[in-house]
């Protein structure tokens, strides 16, 4: 077989392409330093410096006059400390130190210089660094003749193991002037202005001369004043502490405290690592400021209001504003056990993903599993209940005593009962009692946690709804391709008269309907009945039927009757039609005709308000046009209108058939229909269920 020349040529080209890929002659050296600024061909001066301030960093900034600012690891709690020519100045500002380190890491050379040049090295100061595995000295000189930078010489090491004079420079560069400006800063520029370098979340104890505060294992603050221990609001304590720790010492003040011989500090803080920090209050400064001393280094002045006495319960003149207002302060997920000591001894405890009640019955121990969702609702009501700390109360009749244990083993004891006005009052952990409003019974039993969900209706399941009753106008609607359509009552405007938001509200109310108290079903027929058809599914009825009686008694699908909350009760009494029929007629009509006493006045709409077609002033029409839109529906009532017709309004709607509204005192009726709207001004509307 003869190989064509073109085949050899293609093979050679393929081999050459593979070699080019493998041995890329245009590839940049990956080890070459990258440019980091836009000053042309500038490179990093100190590329070996790692990101982040080393914990063992020792840094000396020698100012042109020879004064040395030293930043090195502090003793004890502070990461780094600042000295000025050997004098202790205070803890280093972490942000300032980070900025200084970043400036050194990002420093760039503008150009190289001849080491024999008259650079005046040392005249601009020195930067000596040891830490993070690095050890070097940078000697700064005078400004260059062209003024674009300053001379700098680098030393590879530090002699004698100390930060002293080193050997001759091994390289000379022109560097940015900012390095000289950093060195020229006074030592105070690197000292923290915050009183203490502590975060609020780190503090576990606070001590004053007459009081103490401690954050318990449950992360809640408690204060002790003269033997009175009170649970405090975390938000109040941490807000006051945060303002103190975030204050700015300005201006500086000469220190006056000797920690070894000083009096008791104004405040002492203990952190979660066991470190102790203290602040001493000193003389007044100018401008309503007071000096604070940290016990070492510079003191400084802060706003005098930061040193006002904390309003801790038990202190003279302190009110109860800082008391933890939540009756049961722990979140639901943290509660492991609730022991009821009165009125009947039993324990509610968490067991994995369920809750159990342990009790003594007929001389034997009994364990009953209860519904987790009901326990959550019951405890959530306790967690949401707030002590009314603005007014104290005295418990004259004990009713309930609970001991709550959370996941940190911390416990809260609640003692509740009736006060002199027969209202509910509660005392927590032996503290004074305060009035409290609860939506649930505080005492529990297995019956408390029986599933109280009356209806099961998932979102999107409903397909039709119907409202009926002996004295109720029949109303109905069905869902058609995602849009609710009005079935009853007949209305000239058709679907436009249906309020689909009220339909969805009714469905949501039914889906969340819960029993507050089980009761006997009334013997009379239900006052109102709602029938909701839903998507067919195996094993369940095609409809949910809710019956409603006076007194907010409800029954679902013929089951047990129960009292429901006032909110759901009012929602179930709502109608399906838009609740402001006169406002809708006036706002959405194309044309109106007002009639009264045989007179007819035609109206048309201009850009905004209605005007008479004949051009005359509105006259007697003005008052109804202003007042009628404020009327809202109290109820749809079957039967004839209840009184004399005061006026009539012929409506040409934007959608639907023209119709006439007869309007009387507190009612309106579509002419020819066998039902009417009972109306009242909006602020006077009362719930129909009451």
Instruction: Extract the runs of DSSP E, i.e. beta strands, from 66-149.
Output: 68-73, 80-84, 87-91, 108-113, 125-131, 134-143
Which string of b and e fits 200-209 if b means at least 16 CB within 10 Å?
Answer: beebbebbbe
Q: Is the dihedral of CA 574, 575, 581, 587 positive or negative?
A: positive
Residue 457's alpha-carbon distances to 140, 160, 460, in angstroms, are 79, 83, 9
Q: Please provide the DSSP assignment of 169-230 as one string.
A: -SEEEEE-THHHHHHHS-GGGGB--SS----GGGEEEEE-SS-EEEE-TTS-EEEEETTEEE
In sequence order, the β-bridge partners of residue 109 are 43, 175
575 closest CA partner among 636, 656, 509: 636
Tokens 């400036």 belong to which residue? 103
| Higher-confidence position of 362 and 224 | 224
Q: What is the mean pLDDT of residues 169-185?
A: 86
Predicted confidence at residue 2, as pLDDT, reads 60
Measure the CA–CA gap between 468 and 476, rounded to whole angstroms. 9
Confidence of residue 187 (pLDDT cuts 50, 70, 90): very high
Q: Name the pairing type of β-strands 528-534 and 517-519.
A: unpaired
What pTM did the predictor assign? 0.70
pLDDT, position 161: 35
Q: Which two tokens stand for residue 11?
A: 């093979």
Tens digits of per-residue pLDDT, 626-655?
A: 999 999 999 999 999 999 999 999 999 988
Decide the pairing of beta strands 58-62 and 68-73.
antiparallel
CB distance 311 to 323 below 8 Å: no
- Does residue 683 sit in helix, strand or coil? helix
Alpha-carbon distance 526 to 522, whole Å?
A: 8
CA 481 to chain centre: 39
Token pair 């649970």 is at which residue?
A: 231
- Bigger pLDDT: 135 vs 24: 135
Task: Convert the pLDDT of each residue in 306-355 to its tens digit.
Answer: 999 999 999 998 889 999 999 999 999 999 999 999 999 999 999 988 99
Which residue has tokens 């029409």?
Answer: 621
Q: How confident is the model over 384-409, as pLDDT tens digits?
A: 999 999 888 999 988 999 999 999 88
pLDDT reported for residue 109: 87
Please determine, for residue 684, whether its predicted confidence score (pLDDT) is greater than 50: no
294: tokens are: 């940290």
Give CA–CA dist 227/230, Å, rounded.
10
Q: Measured between alpha carbons, how far is residue 664 from residues 96, 429, 634, 649, 681 in Å?
A: 78, 62, 15, 11, 13
What share of the chain in percent tops pLDDT 70? 91
pLDDT number for residue 362:
72
Range from 13-27, 287-301, 516-530 carrying the lowest mean pLDDT:
13-27
Mean pLDDT in residue range 191-213: 95
Sheet with 125-131: strands ordered across = 43-44, 108-113, 171-175, 150-155, 134-143, 125-131, 58-62, 68-73, 80-84, 87-91
pLDDT of residue 166: 41
Q: What is the pLDDT of residues 227-274, one digit of tens each?
A: 899 999 999 999 999 999 999 999 999 999 987 777 889 999 999 999
pLDDT at 690 over 50: no
pLDDT 10s digits, 262-296: 788 999 999 999 999 999 999 999 999 999 999 99
* Mean pLDDT over the full length of the chain: 88
Distances from the Cα of 260 to the Cα of 264, 265, 294, 574, angstroms: 11, 12, 13, 76
Q: In this structure, are residues 381 and 440 in contact, taking their beta carbons and an 8 Å threshold?
A: yes
Ranking 101-115, 546-560, 567-581 by mean pLDDT, the lowest is 101-115
Whether 214 shows a pLDDT value over 90: the answer reads yes
Whether pLDDT at 623 is above 80: yes
Beta bridge partners of 536: none
- How much is the average pLDDT of 208-217? 95
């Amino acid at each position: 077989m003869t190989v064509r020349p073109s085949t050899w040529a293609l093979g050679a080209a393929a081999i050459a392409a593979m070699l080019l890929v493998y041995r890329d002659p245009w590839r940049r050296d990956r080890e070459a330093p990258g440019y980091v600024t836009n000053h042309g061909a500038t490179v990093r001066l100190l590329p070996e410096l790692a990101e982040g301030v080393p914990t063992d960093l020792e840094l000396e900034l020698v100012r042109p006059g020879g004064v040395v600012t030293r930043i090195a690891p502090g003793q004890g709690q502070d990461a780094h400390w600042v000295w000025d020519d050997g004098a202790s100045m205070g803890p280093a500002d972490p942000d300032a130190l980070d900025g200084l380190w970043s400036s050194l890491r990002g420093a760039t050379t503008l150009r190289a210089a001849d080491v024999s040049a008259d650079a005046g090295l040392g005249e601009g100061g020195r930067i000596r660094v040891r830490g993070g595995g690095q050890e070097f000295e940078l000697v700064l000189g005078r400004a260059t003749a062209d003024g674009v930078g300053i001379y700098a010489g680098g030393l590879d090491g530090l002699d004698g193991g100390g930060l002293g004079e080193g050997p001759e420079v091994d390289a000379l560069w022109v560097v940015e002037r900012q390095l000289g400006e950093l060195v020229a800063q006074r030592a105070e520029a690197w000292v923290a202005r915050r009183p203490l370098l502590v975060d609020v979340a780190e503090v576990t104890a606070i001590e004053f001369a007459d009081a103490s505060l401690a954050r318990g294992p449950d992360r809640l603050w408690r204060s002790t004043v003269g033997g009175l221990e009170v649970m405090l609001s975390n938000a109040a304590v941490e807000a006051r502490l945060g303002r103190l720790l975030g204050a700015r010492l300005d201006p500086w003040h000469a220190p006056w405290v000797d920690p070894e011989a000083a009096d008791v500090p104004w405040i002492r803080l203990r952190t979660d690592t066991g470190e102790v920090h203290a602040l001493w209050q000193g003389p007044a400064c100018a401008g309503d400021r007071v000096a604070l001393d940290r016990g070492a280094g510079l003191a400084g002045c802060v706003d005098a209001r930061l040193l006002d006495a904390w309003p801790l319960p038990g202190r003279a003149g302190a009110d109860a504003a800082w008391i933890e207002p939540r009756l049961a302060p722990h979140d639901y997920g943290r509660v492991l056990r609730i022991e009821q000591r009165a009125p009947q001894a039993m324990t509610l405890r968490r067991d994995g993903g369920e809750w159990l009640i342990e009790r003594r019955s007929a001389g034997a121990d009994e364990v009953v599993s209860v519904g987790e969702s009901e326990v959550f609702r019951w405890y959530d009501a306790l967690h949401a209940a707030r002590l009314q700390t603005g007014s104290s109360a005295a418990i004259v009749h004990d009713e309930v005593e609970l001991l709550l244990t959370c996941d940190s083993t911390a416990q809260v004891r609640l003692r509740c009962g009736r006060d002199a006005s027969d209202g509910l009052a509660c005392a927590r952990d032996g503290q004074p009692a305060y009035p409290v409003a609860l939506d649930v019974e505080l005492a529990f039993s297995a019956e408390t946690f029986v599933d109280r969900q009356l209806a099961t209706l998932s979102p999107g399941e409903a397909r039709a709804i119907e409202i009926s009753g002996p004295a109720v106008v029949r109303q109905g609607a069905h869902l058609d391709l995602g849009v609710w359509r009005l079935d009853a009552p007949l209305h000239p405007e058709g679907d436009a008269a249906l309020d689909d938001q009220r339909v969805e509200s009714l469905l949501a109310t039914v889906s969340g309907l819960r029993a507050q108290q089980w009761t006997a079903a009334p013997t009379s027929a239900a006052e109102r009945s709602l029938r909701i058809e839903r998507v067919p599914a195996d094993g369940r009825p095609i409809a949910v039927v809710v019956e409603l009686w006076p007194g907010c008694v409800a029954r679902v699908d013929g089951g047990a009757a129960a009292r429901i909350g006032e909110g759901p009760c009012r929602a179930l009494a709502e109608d399906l039609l838009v609740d402001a029929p006169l406002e809708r007629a006036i706002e959405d009509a194309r044309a109106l005709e007002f009639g009264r006493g045989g007179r007819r006045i035609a109206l048309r709409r201009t850009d905004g308000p209605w005007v008479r077609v004949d051009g005359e002033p509105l006259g007697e029409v003005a008052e109804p046009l202003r007042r009628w839109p404020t009327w809202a529906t109290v109820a749809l009532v079957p039967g004839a209108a209840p009184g004399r017709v005061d006026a009539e309004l012929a409506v040409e709607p934007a959608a639907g058939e023209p119709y006439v509204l007869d309007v009387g005192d507190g009612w309106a009726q579509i002419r020819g229909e066998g039902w009417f709207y009972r109306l009242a001004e909006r602020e006077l509307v009362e719930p129909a269920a009451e």
